[in-house]
A and B are shown apart, each in its own frame.
Chain A
């Protein structure tokens, strides 16, 4: 018996080793390394931005308009003499914060709806899914434009709520598909056979098993939230005018590119691209390593 138990203990170690091998594989993946570097860079900018810049992001300097990148102005200055580098760094925090909040809201509601519709099926499922279909029948940008037009003002909070609202059906659909599969498994029947109530079955039994796709969906949506927020601020809606948003910076300066004044546009545009790509590379390599 002792030999057998040694064997079983070895089996435990074997599973731990597999997990370790997976993380090792993740760390060896160049896509993951690049993604982590990009996202890490922007997180540092978001957290310690104040210590990394010399100029006020909103500070206008009429003597230094449209200056090329130099030792003084690393990314040059824009068409009213603001330091592009300071503005790019200052734009990090709002976009990351907004994207994260919007995705969190969408994930929270989407997961709950997905769990309920996938488990209850029947009429409830049909009605809810129909409403969710209707919501996703419109492009995010169009819904946001419509809502921001109907509501007064250009509030960041409203933008976050709208994007969270639009993400809800997408995440709900992913979760629902996973739940439909899980609900057929016998452990759910076993839970019913010990008189568990629905909330326990949903949140204690099923939810932990559908976390992997939720985590991946969260990361993918995070990337798309950056996409949507940047596009809205470029279109001049959803953020306060004059605030150092990357999208607004591109909008304010892109006419300069026709005259080869590229820096005031390219740096904030590049910032949007690298942040979105960084998040996406991480999501992609997690999916690959854990075979989700």
Chain B
């Protein structure tokens, strides 16, 4: 088992390394000089040259890469070009805000979509099933920002059920924060629900059609016991992988939803960094995103192996 975890961890590190290298070269090799772009096309050449020197852009590319990599490994993500402060100080609070929103969305999505998927699978072919599957998947293909503006309009402005601002300001209690974040989380939940519930449903149906559930039924077990003991465990295994695979979509959704609600989170910082060509911020943000996603995948892989005897035993042998 340890060997398996080590192997997965190695692969995860490799992925992060490939991603970071790709980011670095993408922002540096592609046409266009960052210094010119930061200062604009009409800037004085000597100012551009000075900025290039300040940013270290006059050094060979591989040397720049090495500096960047070693600094990053030591936790030094550089300084924001726009704000002239260390990137870490600038993006950490924003990440905290985004994490709150993501956590609420995730905590709502996972149980809802698993229960929805199980219900649909158990009620296969009935109207409830159609509503959950067709409705869920239709909701999932509508972008988060569309849901966000529609929710603000209907639930916030028209019905006045929930606040339309996502951030109540500093120095508020935790409950107030959560209360303000409900509307934006729903926009995220609507998109994530469809995929996860569909996989849960497919798992339930596959288990129901399996020979071992037939065995359990013909043993004379009551249906409730058949479902609890024989269907659910096998059915929910695939959902773990899918939940982890939704993390990138959740992060993508954050960017759009934060924009609608003008929420000063990580997504907002990312958009600003793009607009101002604030490369250190951009590179660091993407690096953090990659780490979070790879970590989620790693946890899912290990969890899956722990819960699935076939894989677990395969590893142990």
Q: A235-B259, A266-B153 are in contact. Are A137 and B294 (CB under 8 A)?
A: yes
**B277 touches A (CB below 8 Å):** yes
Instruction: Give every chain B residue within 8 A of A231 (Cβ-Cβ).
Output: 143-145, 252, 256
B15 touches A138 (CB 8 A): no
Interface string of A230-269 (1 = CB under 8 A from B): 1100111100000000010010001001101010011001
* 8 extra A-B contacts, CB within 8 A, seeds A130-B14, A151-B31: A138-B289, A141-B255, A149-B274, A150-B26, A231-B256, A269-B146, A272-B142, A280-B140
A147 touches B26 (CB 8 A): yes
A and B contact pairs by CB, cutoff 8 A, 29 listed: A31-B134, A130-B14, A130-B15, A131-B18, A137-B293, A137-B297, A138-B19, A141-B251, A141-B255, A142-B289, A145-B271, A146-B274, A150-B30, A152-B32, A227-B143, A234-B145, A235-B255, A247-B143, A250-B146, A254-B149, A257-B152, A257-B153, A260-B157, A260-B158, A262-B153, A266-B149, A266-B150, A269-B146, A281-B134
B contact set with A: CB distance below 8 Å = 11, 14-16, 18-19, 22-23, 26-27, 30-32, 37, 134, 137-138, 140-146, 149-150, 152-153, 157-158, 164, 248-249, 251-252, 255-256, 259-260, 270-271, 273-275, 277, 282, 286, 289-290, 293-294, 297
CA distance A31 to B150 in the complex (A): 23
Give the nearest-CB partner of B140 in chain A. Answer: A280
Instruction: Give every chain B residue within 8 A of A142 (Cβ-Cβ).
Output: 251-252, 255, 270, 286, 289
Closest 5 CB pairs of A and B: A139-B252, A141-B252, A134-B18, A276-B141, A139-B248
CA distance A230 to B145 in the complex (A): 9
**A224 touches B (CB below 8 Å):** yes
A227 touches B142 (CB 8 A): yes
Instruction: Give every chain A residue within 8 A of B248 (Cβ-Cβ).
Output: 136-140
- Nearest CB of chain B from residue A134's CB, rounded to whole Å: 4
**A118 touches B (CB below 8 Å):** no
CA distance A142 to B271 in the complex (A): 9
- Nearest CB of chain A from residue B52's CB, rounded to whole Å: 17
Instruction: Give every chain B residue within 8 A of A235 (Cβ-Cβ).
Output: 255-256, 259, 271
Give the nearest-CB partner of B249 in chain A. Answer: A139
- Nearest CB of chain A from residue B285's CB, rounded to whole Å: 8
CA distance A262 to B142 in the complex (A): 18
- Nearest CB of chain B from residue A89's CB, rounded to whole Å: 18
Q: A137-B294, A149-B274, A273-B146 are in contact. Are A258 and B157 (CB under 8 A)?
A: yes
Instruction: Give every chain B residue within 8 A of A131 (Cβ-Cβ).
Output: 18
Q: A142-B251, A227-B143 are in contact. Are A150 and B290 (CB under 8 A)?
A: no
CA distance A137 to B17 in the complex (A): 11
Instruction: Give every chain A residue within 8 A of B259 (Cβ-Cβ).
Output: 234-235
Give the nearest-CB partner of B255 in chain A. Answer: A141
B282 touches A146 (CB 8 A): yes
**A105 touches B (CB below 8 Å):** no
- Nearest CB of chain A from residue B214's CB, rounded to whole Å: 21
Q: A145-B271, A257-B153 are in contact. Are A137 and B255 (CB under 8 A)?
A: no
Q: Is the interface of B mostly helix, strand, loop or mixed?
A: helix
- Nearest CB of chain B from residue A219's CB, rounded to whole Å: 11
CA distance A134 to B287 in the complex (A): 12
Instruction: Give every chain B residue within 8 A of A234 (Cβ-Cβ).
Output: 143, 145, 256, 259
Which residue of B16, B32, B275, B294 is within 8 Å of A151 (Cβ)?
Answer: B32
Give A262-292 interface residues, CB cut-off 8 Å to B: 262, 265-266, 269, 272-273, 276-277, 279-281, 284
Interface string of A49-91 (1 = CB under 8 A from B): 0000000000000000000000000000000000000000000
Instruction: Give every chain A residue within 8 A of B255 (Cβ-Cβ).
Output: 139, 141-142, 145, 235
Instruction: Give every chain B residue within 8 A of A31 (Cβ-Cβ).
Output: 134
**A223 touches B (CB below 8 Å):** yes
Give the nearest-CB partner of A279 in chain B. Answer: B141
Instruction: Give every chain B residue within 8 A of A130 (Cβ-Cβ).
Output: 11, 14-15, 18
**A148 touches B (CB below 8 Å):** yes
Instruction: Give every chain A residue within 8 A of B27 (Cβ-Cβ).
Output: 146, 149-150
Give the nearest-CB partner of A254 in chain B. Answer: B149
Which residue of A141, A254, A258, A280 is within 8 Å of B141 (Cβ)?
Answer: A280
B145 touches A250 (CB 8 A): yes
**A14 touches B (CB below 8 Å):** no
Residue among A137, A147, A148, A266 having the largest count of chain B Cβ atoms under 10 Å: A137
Instruction: Give every chain B residue within 8 A of A277 (Cβ-Cβ).
Output: 138, 141-142
Instruction: Give every chain A residue within 8 A of B23 (Cβ-Cβ).
Output: 146
Give A112-138 interface residues, CB cut-off 8 Å to B: 130-131, 133-134, 136-138
Instruction: Give every chain A residue within 8 A of B137 (Cβ-Cβ).
Output: 280, 284
B138 touches A280 (CB 8 A): yes
CA distance A235 to B273 in the complex (A): 13
Residue among B145, B146, B149 having the largest count of chain A Cβ atoms under 10 Å: B146
Give A82-118 interface residues, CB cut-off 8 Å to B: none
- Nearest CB of chain A from residue B140's CB, rounded to whole Å: 8
Give the nearest-CB partner of A223 in chain B. Answer: B141
